[in-house]
Structure 1
Amino acid sequence: MDLERVGGGSMDVASIIRKMKPEGVCSPPTSLDHVDHVVKLALAGYADLAADHLLNPALRGKLPSIVGCLARRLKLEFLKAGDFEEKVSRRARAYDLMFEIALNLIGIDARHAGFEEGEVEEAISIIRSVVREWEEIERSELGDAPIAREVVRLKLEDMEKVMASNPKRKGMIAVMSEEVRSKLDDGRVAESFIEAMEEEIRSNVYYVMSREKFCKFGNDYAIGLRWLRRLGYVQVSTNPVLAAIAYRDDPSLWDKLREYLRRHPELLDNVEEKADEIAMAATMIALWPNMEVFRPIALLSGYKEGFVSYQLNPNVAGSVEGSLKDALKIYLATQEHFKEYDEQLAWRWPEVEDLGRPNIVFKVAGSSPAAIEITRMLESMGIGTNNTVTYAVSQEARLILAKMEGMAAALRSGIHPTRSYETNMGGRLEDHLREVVAARLIRDALSRFREPLRELAELAGKLGLNVKEPEGLWKGASGWGYDIEARSLEEKI
């Protein structure tokens, strides 16, 4: 179906919906019950959070009733009088909430919450009926369904952000979006979107393997995770390089970074000295939404799943003091963020302890002896670790022992350990061969030119490296917070 079709003032509707911003919510919440809480969050612009709140073990056996109560409340909001912009905003947020609840229930999320299959299917059926009715109301008033169409379009655009900056590749989620687009029914956009998403999610191989408990999956990419969570993914690994790719694929992150820097002007006093802090802030802005995605899984599993694995600053990987300082700075800032987030997400959830505890583990590079003490110290504080740069059994065994020592110390203090990882990176031992072969080919090609350095500089420019003086010092970002420098022709190759 062509979602670009304009009708019933849809261009105005699109501009209204796209400029909507989340509003403030009460802290602590003043909600009457779960339905009231979800409605307040959704109408304030937090449909994801509102839908995730319903992944509440206390609601087992009550799900269809809860969804029915939401339908009643939201229909009143849908029909409430107001100016055109107010009505569009309310209706868009109502659609958004129902889509998010449906997608959570279609995916693996419902199983994490412990809902029975029968109540899940009944709730999805209610949602399909509700959005069908809302769309009919739209069409009776406007002759079309521009609000439903625009909310669906935004969902699909979100799916298409995954690997959007790479013209040679297309992510699985983006492919799923294309399939859903092809199945939309122009006469019932909202309901057909739910139907198409159900078909795509439940036929996906990762969903099937997760449902059957064949395997647990994680992702090594910083956006698109909410869609993957529904397929059964339970963790993500990230680092500054992946965060940078996320900024490229989702430019809206730059607006969030600018807003953060406006609130923290001290970071701009001396940019060169505070480059690491700015890079850390930029990474956290990309990181926290990932942690929010997996937050329900972390809480529901007792902090056994739902973790984001984050790379500590490699520039201080060999320093116990430097690494612990960085880790604690990130961890404490994240804890403050999730105290506020959990206040809304887990409001009146039963049997959830230690709210605000970050669902993060730190990647600790096993490239120096310091890794042993860093690992032990973090684990002793109940902070999980993921040892990387590990190529030998001897490395892994010693680091695993450090984890166990740290966990034992934590338990003696009454601290429950969280998920911990040991990464075998043997497959990376041959990664460098690509660069070796590429360098050999370039070296051979340059031997055919009279001015090889100038030819190399031209090639570097085409690859994105700005070379002002071919004969001078070349600098290029390593992707890990420092520059690579090259002076000789061999180094530049």
Structure 2
Amino acid sequence: MDVYSIVKNAKPKDLPSPPDSLDHADHVVKTALLGYTQLAADHLLNPDLVGSITYVIGCIIRQLNLEFLENRIEDSDSEEIKKEKILKRAYAYDVLLEIAINFYGLERDRVGFDDYEVRESLSMIEEILREWERIERKETSNNAPIAEAVVRLKIDDMKKVLAGNPKRTGMITVMGENIEKRIEKDDIMASFLDAVKEEIQSNIYYVMSARGLCKFGNDYAIGLRWLRRLGYVQVSTNPVLAAIAYKDDPSLWEKFKDYLRKHQELLENPDECKDELAMAATMIALWPNMEVFRPIALLSRFYDGLVSYQLNPNVADSFEGSLRDALEIYTRTQEYFKKYDEYLVWGWSTIVERGRPNIVFKVAGSSPAAIDITRELESMGIGTNNTVTYAVSQEARLILLFLRRLA
């Protein structure tokens, strides 16, 4: 069987609403085995787990180990059963890798985990990953196709950055290539984690962020999860950058097709719905960015972790048009993240607001309507920043507006 293709083409199952989790370990395991390994790992970026994270990780490993052992692939299994077992083992590998990489990154400092509990947690994760790989090799003539597929997909994901532009190479792509060179075929998991740790913690952006020298953001729509580990705290995007993301990551087209299957009314008259189609395509690329930075937004009470999105330039001069677009995106995004936060912040303090979009809107400062658009959005608690300013006077007007609101 082509294990790599099975894992690559797998689609996550629907998330039950509300979650039926018993505790944090149960929540992580259930979420991961449904195919949401990154969401499951990010759930643990919870300040309430400081001092208890090692215990929770131990519980997660115990449960996942039972799943891994139970899903031994037998020759007598049907093709469908084999695929299901491959995916369960792949998700077990992947969620522990995601948890470990979060610990290598600066997320651990934002939460407040101390070095001892991080070190102990990583030791347990590394040990069980090595053991699972050993079991897999014992079962498959010294091969570990599932472990190899999971790691290969991580590296492939890194290589998507600027993949559509042959004249440029992204930093995350270079990091992925460096990691790939260090993978040992007879020790895949351990060599991968060692390489990832070095690539992250030796990166100049990680070092500068860790020392508090600067805060970094990005102006591109994919590869952001790796940048988050380096200390990046925000991303700026627009419809053009979203289009580039579709070029660099063709899997977004499948997500867009799934969306259109559920909203076929948009295809009945595409000429009349062109703005709606563009907005939908943009949101499909936008929401994963917001998912990446959502833990940062929640941990900082929305001071960091924001996605800055440019409103439709075709209506930049229209107060009504810009406000309509902003509210449409904001309300749809809030609905999306109320469901997402059911899982991300399950069991977190109820003080943490669920569903609030970690987005600010870029308003064209050159437009005469900029002041009114900015004032109206800010009055509703929707953040703004400004773009397309050509003169100091344009910027000054908007600065004075913000100062008056702060007074």
TM-score, normalization by structure 2:
0.95
CA distance in 2, matches of 1:321, 1:309: 20
Cross-structure match for 1:114: 112
- Report the CA distance between 1:272 and its aligned residue: 1.4
Q: How does 1:96-135 map to 2 (within 5 A)?
A: 96-135=94-133
Matches within 5 A, 1:34-73: 34-73=24-63
Q: State the shift of 1:81 in Å.
A: 4.5
Name the SS for the 1:185 alignment partner. coil
Pairs within 5 Å for 1:133-282: 133-143=131-141, 144-282=143-281
The equivalent of 2:89 in structure 1 is: 91
Letter of the aligned partner of 1:318 in structure 2? D
Deviations 1:421-455 (A, max 9, x none): xxxxxxxxxxxxxxxxxxxxxxxxxxxxxxxxxxx
**Equivalent residues in 2 for 1:274-423, closer than 5 Å:** 274-350=273-349, 352-406=351-405
1:405 Cα deviation (Å)? 4.2
Q: Structure 1: which 4+ aligned runs deviate by more than 3 Å? A: 404-408
CA distance in 2, matches of 1:273, 1:350: 45
Question: Does the aligned pair in 1 maintain the 2:366–2:390 contact within 8 Å?
Answer: no
Distance 1:201 1:285 in 2: 28
For 1:400 and 1:56, the matched residues in 2 are separated by 35
Residue aligned with 1:305, SS = coil
- Matched residues in 1 for 2:357 and 2:123: separation? 35
Q: Contact 2:71–2:88 (CA<8 Å) still a contact in 1?
A: no
The answer (yes or no) to whether the contact 1:57–1:350 under 8 Å persists in 2 is: no
Q: Which residue of 2 aligns with 1:444?
A: none
> Shift of the alpha carbon at 1:403?
2.8
CA shift for structure 1 position 24: 1.8
Q: 2:71–2:89: 8 Å Cα contact kept in structure 1?
A: no
Between the aligned partners of 1:194 and 1:235, the Cα distance in structure 2 is 26
CA contact (8 A) 1:91 1:147 kept: yes
Stretches of structure 2 lacking an aligned partner (at least 5 in a row) = none
Q: Normalised by the size of structure 1, how large is the TM-score?
A: 0.79
Do the aligned partners of residues 214 and 326 (structure 1) sit closer, same or farther apart at CA in structure 2, a change above 3 Å counting? same
Specify the code of the residue in structure 2 equivalent to 1:280: M
Would you say the 8 A contact 1:376–1:405 is kept in 2? no
- d(CA) in 2 for partners of 1:358 and 1:352? 16
* Local SS of the residue matching 2:2: helix
Q: CA deviation at 1:394?
A: 2.1
Paired residues, what number?
A: 398
Deviations 1:52-111 (A, max 9, x none): 000011110112111111111111000114643232111100000011000101001111
Contact (CA 8 Å) 1:373, 1:402: kept in 2 or not?
no
Q: Structure 1 residues 329 and 406 mapped into 2: Cα distance closer, same or farther (>3 Å)?
A: farther
Which one scores higher on RCO, CA 8 angstroms, separation ≥ 6?
2
Instruction: Please identify, of 74-83 and 44-53, the stretch whose mean Cα deviation from structure 2 is larger.
Output: 74-83
**Root-mean-square deviation over aligned CA pairs:** 1.3
Say which of 22, 32, 56 aligns to 2:12.
22
Q: Which stretch of structure 1 is more off in the superposition, 93-102 or 259-268?
A: 259-268
Q: Which amino acid aligns with 1:103?
A: I
Identity value in percent: 65
Q: Deviations over 1:116-164 (max 9, x none)?
A: 1221122112111110000000011112111100000000000000000
CA deviation after TM superposition for structure 1 residue 350, in Å: 2.0
Structure 1: which amino acid aligns with 2:57?
Answer: V
Q: Distance in 2 between matches of 1:339 and 1:15?
A: 32
**1:238 offset after TM fit, Å?**
0.3
Equivalent position SS for 1:218: strand
User: SS at the partner of 1:150?
Assistant: helix
- SS of equivalent residue, structure 1 residue 324: helix
SS state of the match for residue 363, structure 1? Answer: strand
**CA–CA distance in structure 2, aligned partners of residues 169 and 322 of structure 1:** 36
Does the 8 A contact of 2:366 with 2:394 survive in 1? no
Contact 1:377 1:406 in 2 (8 A): no
Deviations 1:397-437 (A, max 9, x none): 210222344567xxxxxxxxxxxxxxxxxxxxxxxxxxxxx
User: 1:148 & 1:164 partners in 2: Cα distance?
Assistant: 25
CA distance in 2, matches of 1:292, 1:110: 17
* Contact 1:367 1:390 survives alignment (8 Å): yes
Helix, strand or coil: the match of 1:353?
A: coil
Q: Distance in 2 between matches of 1:81 and 1:321?
A: 56
| C-alpha distance in structure 2 between counterparts of 1:260 and 1:73, whole Å | 34
